[in-house]
Structures are given as structure tokens and as C-alpha cells.
Structure 1
């Protein structure tokens, strides 16, 4: 079982937070290769939007719904079930954990920092990318491929012990911190521009 918490880098209404959580869940399930999905939600609005019992009137809700529908197309089948929020105590504790300023999470819970759907839907990154320092480490961790140069291969093997891949993304292991997400130069420039 994986525990996963989200930390928002923007102000989010309750409905936006519910949609962001659903989007993160769908992305994670897709990256793990899940083909059939049973989704449990306590938000009547989100459930009724997805099942098309309600129509999304607000522009941002329509954008969230479109993104959810697009991700749901990746699955062979899915079922969405409403549960009472009282039965969601484990989720509520993760919400409190993710919203705290700093807490030593160790390595048992992943916390993802999100930007608003309005921000990332407008940003365009180039499809092609130049080689980065991460490529040899990713190739070794994902496929066991090492550079042909023996000295470089040894360096990559040594450095790789401090990294791991989660959901097709490279993370650096910390001693007392949560895993640190490694960024490409384009992603780093984007983050620095937003600060």
C-alpha cells in the first residue's frame, strides 16, 4: 500500500482540492499500469460531474472535469463510488500531514507539491530535451544500462545508490528528509521563474 499526500502551491477551494486529489490518483494509477479502477470519493459534486449527473458550470470545474475525463480514457474500465466522509479518516490524516509546514516524514509517505491546473495547463515544455546529468542514472536504475567507459560506468553505479525512480521520476534519497525530486533544466527554470 502506498500513502501519498499532496501539498498545493496555490489557494484551492474544497472542490478544487477534491479534483486535484482525483487527478493525482488517476495519474499514479496510470503510471503503475492499472487498467481497471475502483474510485472511492466523498465529494458528491465531483462524483456527479464525472458520472454526468451534474453539469460543470464554473470554468475551472469544467477544466478539471475535462482533465479527469481525458485521464479516465486510459483505463479499460472504472467505477466511482461515493463514501461517507466519516469513513475517510485515513485520508483526513494525510490532509493534515500534507498541510503542515514541515514534518519529518521519513520515507514512508510521498508528498507531491502541485501547482494550479490553470498554471500547468498553459505552460508548454519543449518535447525534445538535451541530455542531462540524470540520464545515465535513470538508464541504469530503469534498465540496467551503463556507459561504455569503465570509469564513467563505475561513477554512475556509485551515484545511483543515492537515487531511486518513483512513477517514472528520479528522486534523491535524503537522510532525514523526504525524497527530493530531481528536475530537468527546463523544469528547474520554470520553478525558479514561479518563485
Structure 2
């Protein structure tokens, strides 16, 4: 395994834990250098490794409490099992283990607003929920991770959680303008006058 894989594994695991709404988490790693870098005990001198360390730390901020600790390889049986799985043929393990093949490194994922729709407050939240993307700034990353907890993503559509009414569909500015136009034109049925309420 190369060093990049040693960072991709915790990033994927942290993303899964976030999706499961885990609040407190303990991460165990058997590569002391990686654990020490993430904890801030060692400095990453290579630019690529520095980006990975920054990303791991940013993803960790989405939890109320998250610690990373070193565990010797011989004490980590699960890692041995996974390393054997990685080196085996995919067909041999099909159906027994869930896995995802990364097409691009996590540090190379850039947030881009959908073409033709323009930027919207919805885009960063969806990007985080779909791919685990977080801003480079640690405070902004934590803010986005916390904000995303108030939303659901259902079939690619973002909804705000609500405890008293059905989920609220989130609209982009152009979609909101169209919805308001349709309401005011009466597409949703007859509406009462919009003037001030009068009493006799």
C-alpha cells in the first residue's frame, strides 16, 4: 500500500460514520507516521501528504468528539483481513464485502456548481452529503458538516428536516422564482386577495 491509501482509508471511514450520524468516534491506525501527523506530533513535509493530513483533520471536525490513536499491526486483525481482501480478485469477494473503487483521490475533488444553474447555498451541502467534500478552511468545514445534519438528500434532491410538517424541498433561486410565479398566477388554484386583513 502507498501512503495515499493510508489516508484514503480513514477519510472513507469517517465519511461513512458521518453518514450514519455518529457523534463520538475513535479512529485506530496501524501506521504510526500517519497517526502522528494527523495528531500534529509530526509535520508532513510533502505537499500531497500535507493536503491529506489537512483533509483528514477537516473531516474529523464533523463529529462532537473524534480521536485517532495508534495500534500495532499485529493487534489489528481487521486490517490484515482487509489487506488480504484488497490484494484478492474482486470476483472472489463479490457480495461478501461492500467496497467502492475510487476514481479520483480525495484531495483532488473540487467543488463545482452544476453547469447552467449558477452557484447556490444548496451546492456545498449536496457536495458534502454526496462525496464528503469539505472546504479547506477548518472552521468552514466544521460549519458545513454541522449545517448538513439539518438536511436529507433523497434521490439527489435536498430536503430540510422538519418535525411538524413534511420535509421541506430546498430550491435554487431560479427554482424559487418560478415556484412563486406559478403560485401568484394561480397554477395552484384560486387564492384569496393578498391585501391587508380587514375586520368589521
Q: Shorter chain as normaliser: what TM range?
A: 0.5 to 0.7
In 2, Cα distance between the equivalents of 1:128 and 1:69?
A: 33
- Summarize deviations over 1:81-112 as a string: whole Å, max 9, x none: 21110112322222221232333334331011
Question: How is 1:93-112 mapped onto 2 (pairs within 5 angstroms)?
Answer: 93-112=81-100
User: 1:108 and 1:100, CA in 2 relative to 1: closer, same or farther beyond 3 A?
Assistant: closer
Question: For the Cα contact (< 8 Å) 1:98–1:111, is it kept in 2?
Answer: no
Residue 13 (structure 2) aligns with: 25
TM-score of the pair, normalised by structure 2: 0.52
- The alpha carbon displacement at 1:127 in A equals 7.9
4+ residue segments displaced more than 4 Å: none
In 2, Cα distance between the equivalents of 1:102 and 1:30?
A: 27
Q: Which runs of 5+ in 2 are unaligned?
A: 118-152, 156-200
Q: Equivalent residue of 2:93, what SS?
A: coil
Residue 165 (structure 1) aligns with: none
Residue 5 (structure 1) aligns with: none
Structure number with higher strand proportion: 1
Aligned residues, how many? 120
Quick one: which of 42, 53, 59 aligns to 1:54?
Answer: 42
Q: Which runs of 5+ in 1 are unaligned?
A: 1-11, 130-167, 171-195
Higher relative contact order (CA 8 A, sep 6+): 1
Aligned-residue Cα RMSD (Å) equals: 2.7
TM-score of the pair, normalised by structure 1: 0.54
User: 1:91 and 1:128, CA in 2 relative to 1: closer, same or farther beyond 3 A?
Assistant: farther
Larger Rg: 2
In 2, Cα distance between the equivalents of 1:90 and 1:82?
A: 14
Task: Work out whether 1:117 is the aligned partner of 2:105.
Answer: yes
Question: For the Cα contact (< 8 Å) 1:64–1:117, is it kept in 2?
Answer: no
